[in-house]
A and B are shown apart, each in its own frame.
Chain A
Amino acid sequence: MAVSSSKDVALSIRGLQAWYGESHVLHGVDLDVHSGEVVTLLGRNGAGRTSTLRAILGLTGDRKGSIKIRGYETINLPTYQIAHYGVGYCPEERGIFSSLSCEENLLLPPVLKGMGAGMGLDEIYAMFPNLAERRNSQGTRLSGGEQQMLAVARILRTGANLLLLDEISEGLAPVIVQALAKMIRMLKQKGYTVVMVEQNFRFAAPLADRFYVMEHGRIVEHFAAAQLEDRMPVLKELLGV
């Protein structure tokens, strides 16, 4: 592993299995993320990347295995307690609330107990001036790009330091994708730990410290950024990129 094991482990998943009702979607996922790392989960459609993030938060059906967040076992906790271990979640479908204004959406996730202070509203508006401009608009009236910024921005306020970001670059204009890449670099600089699910390999490649590749609900490959060149042939085969 490229990262020295002396660093704190932010997230450690062992033998994670998950179901949606009867359908078994995760078949034993093992994954480690160290504090301050940016890790990308790659995989084809339906490989189980979204399900892995959802399972961390208890948003799938039944789960089995172990999910430790900064050393604390969370697999048996109800969903509403898990965020308080410092987890911020940006869902694939963005989850902007239409009955809330832009600013209400931004202020919705509660500041987490026992975590350090998150970013202030001013800081967030400085980073995303569009959101400041549209603070009083209905959340779902924002453009796709603005909604995506909002979905990420609202978890930066809470003090969460383990961010689970699901396909944040999907379907967005290149300028906005660049702004998001810049934001990820900034978050990394500030010491946030990020787990990104990405389809857009070109977005993820320059940002990530390490990569995991999923297939059929399992991790099938994992390597550090430095090994990316060597692994390209394998990746091409696994992802069809």
Chain B
Amino acid sequence: MEIFGRPLSAMLSQLLLGLVNGSFYAILSLGLAVIFGLLNVINFAHGALFMLGAVLAWMGLEYLGVNYWVMLFAAPLIVALLGIVIERLFLKRIYKLDHLYGLLLTLGLTLVIEGVLRSFYGVSGLPYSAPEALSGATDLGFMVLPNYRAWVVLASLVVCVGTWYVIERTKLGAYLRAGTENPRLVEAFGVNVPLMVTLTYGFGVALAAFAGVLAAPVIQISPLMGQNLIIVVFAVVVIGGMGSILGSILTGLGLGIIEGFTKVFYPEASSTVVFVIMAIVLLFRPAGLFGKEK
């Protein structure tokens, strides 16, 4: 079967690839949105912490023989702890300053994290294979579905929807939303906002590390792997609009799919299509598709 002169199976497999990339975009831009909302910091270190998640997964297996499933929980936890230290040590000093300082500080942290790992592991890829339970593929009749890719999409969706639910539908989320609007007043009501800020940063970067572990078997693990991705993710955030939870999830997935289809119809544009969309969105809706005009 063909659609617009392309075989359906090719379309479907690009769609899946697009969804996989979109899942990473969604988790990463979700974390950025949560962090930006409460901390007012554009976390440039997000890409490096995503990479750290993947490298930790590799290190766990290489040095300690700890498998993928354990690292899927352990790596985000370790990165969350690192994030908590970063927030307590550095970020808390710059909240009152312009966004630029947060961007510069987290860019600096990115260079440090990437530099340290580069001096140990160089820049060539570290091998990591999918866990046995998820290797192989399932023949669905109309297409062959690689199990690991399906798992990535499923796990990302569960994490994104879970995060959305907690933020939009629970008491904890109400504190977070209120704290995003007016942290001083929430604090005056007796909520320990400084602690909430620290934990939110920890949670946001844990999401990045979770995406990193998910990506480990399908991406070249290297200290620089976060760099390319984070640029696209920032474009996703600009398109979706900073600060909207649902917006960042939908935009992430949507742009992944658009990228996938572009690969089928006009491969030359597949790496630039996101930026073209960003330019168009900025022209017509400067606050982003889901952002509120201020």
- Which residues in A have some Cβ–Cβ distance to B below 8 Å? 57, 59, 78-84, 89, 91, 95, 97-100, 104, 107-110, 112, 155, 158
The interface residues of chain B lying within 8 Å CB-to-CB of A100 are 174, 177-178
- Asked if B69 is at the interface of the complex by the 8 Å CB criterion, the answer is no
Stretch of B76-84, B189-197, B253-261 with 4 or more beta carbons under 8 angstroms from chain A: B189-197
Residues of A within 8 A of B62 (CB): none
What is the chain A residue whose CB lies nearest that of B171?
A107
The answer on a CB contact under 8 Å between B178 and A99 is: yes
22 contacts between A and B (CB under 8 A): A57-B188, A59-B184, A59-B188, A78-B194, A79-B187, A80-B188, A80-B190, A82-B190, A83-B188, A83-B189, A84-B190, A89-B185, A89-B188, A95-B185, A97-B181, A99-B177, A99-B181, A107-B171, A108-B189, A109-B190, A112-B190, A155-B189
Asked whether B61 is an interface residue with its Cβ less than 8 Å from the other chain, the reply is no
Query: CA separation between A236 and B185, bound complex, in Å?
Result: 34
Contact with A along B2-21 (1 / 0, CB 8 A): 00000000000000000000
- Whether B194 contacts A108 by the Cβ 8 Å rule is no
Cβ-defined partner of B187 (8 Å) among A80, A97, A155: A80
Is the beta-carbon distance between B194 and A80 smaller than 8 angstroms? yes
Contact A99 to B180, CB < 8 A, known contacts A78-B194, A108-B175: yes
Instruction: State in angstroms the CA–CA spacing of A162 and B33 once bound together.
Output: 37
The answer to whether A109 touches B184 (Cβ under 8 A) is no
Tell me the bound Cα distance from A1 to B278 in angstroms: 68
- Do A97 and B194 touch (CB < 8 A)? no
**Distance of A100 Cα from B182 Cα, bound (Å):** 12
Q: Among residues 193 to 232 in chain B, which have CB atoms less than 8 Å away from a CB atom of chain A?
A: 193-194
Contacting pair B191 A97 (CB below 8 A): no
- A12–B58 Cα distance when bound, in Å, is 61
Task: Check if A108 sits within 8 Å of B174, measured CB to CB.
Answer: yes
Q: Which residues of B contact A95 (CB under 8 A)?
A: 182, 185
User: What 4 additional pairs, Cβ within 8 angstroms, besides A99-B177, A99-B178?
Assistant: A80-B188, A100-B174, A108-B175, A110-B190
A29 to B61, CA, bound (A): 64
Q: Which 6 A-B pairs have the closest CB atoms?
A: A83-B190, A109-B189, A99-B177, A79-B187, A95-B185, A80-B187
The listed residue with most B CB atoms (<10 A of its CB), out of A59, A97, A104, is A97
Q: Across the interface, name the chain A residue whose C-beta is closest to B192.
A: A80
Q: B17 → chain A, closest Cβ, in Å? A: 35
The interface size bin for chain B is 10 to 19
Beta-carbon nearest neighbor of B178 in chain A: A97
Contacts of A80 in B (CB 8 A): 187-188, 190-194
B186 interface residue per 8 A CB criterion: yes
User: B186 contacts A108, CB within 8 Å?
Assistant: yes
Residues of B near A84 (CB, < 8 A) are 190
- B182/A97 in contact, CB under 8 A: yes
Q: List A contacts of B186 (CB < 8 A).
A: 108
Task: Give min CB distance, B282 to chain A, whole Å.
Answer: 24
- Which residues of chain B (147-198) have a CB below 8 Å from chain A? 171, 174-175, 177-178, 180-182, 184-194
Closest chain A residue to B180, Cβ basis: A99
A95–B187 alpha-carbon span in the complex (Å): 12
With both beta carbons as reference points, the residue of chain A lying nearest to B185 in the complex is identified as A95
Q: Enumerate chain A residues within 8 angstroms of B181, measured Cβ to Cβ.
A: 97-99
Closest B residue, CB atoms, query A115:
B190
Scan residues 253-277 of chain B and give those whose CB is less than 8 A from a CB of chain A.
Answer: none
Q: Interface centre among B175, B178, B180, B184, by most A CB within 10 Å? A: B178
Distance, CA A91 to CA B185, complexed state (A): 8
Q: Which chain A residue shows the least CB distance to B181?
A: A97
Contact A104 B174 (CB under 8 A): yes
User: A110 contacts which chain B residues (CB < 8 A)?
Assistant: 189-191
With the chains together, A107 CA to B184 CA distance in Å? Answer: 17
Partner of B188, one of A79, A97, A98, A107: A79
Is the Cβ of A79 less than 8 Å from the Cβ of B184? yes
Which residues from B are CB-within-8-Å of A82? 188, 190
CB distance from A151 to the nearest CB of B (A): 10
Using CB atoms, name the residue of chain A closest to B167: A99
A97 to B178, CA, bound (A): 6
Min CB distance A177 to B, Å, is 24
Chain B residues with CB below 8 A from A104, complex form = 174
Inside 8 A of A155's CB, which chain B residues have their CB? 189
CA distance A77 to B188 in the complex (A): 12
The docked-state distance in angstroms from the alpha carbon of A110 to that of B175 is: 10
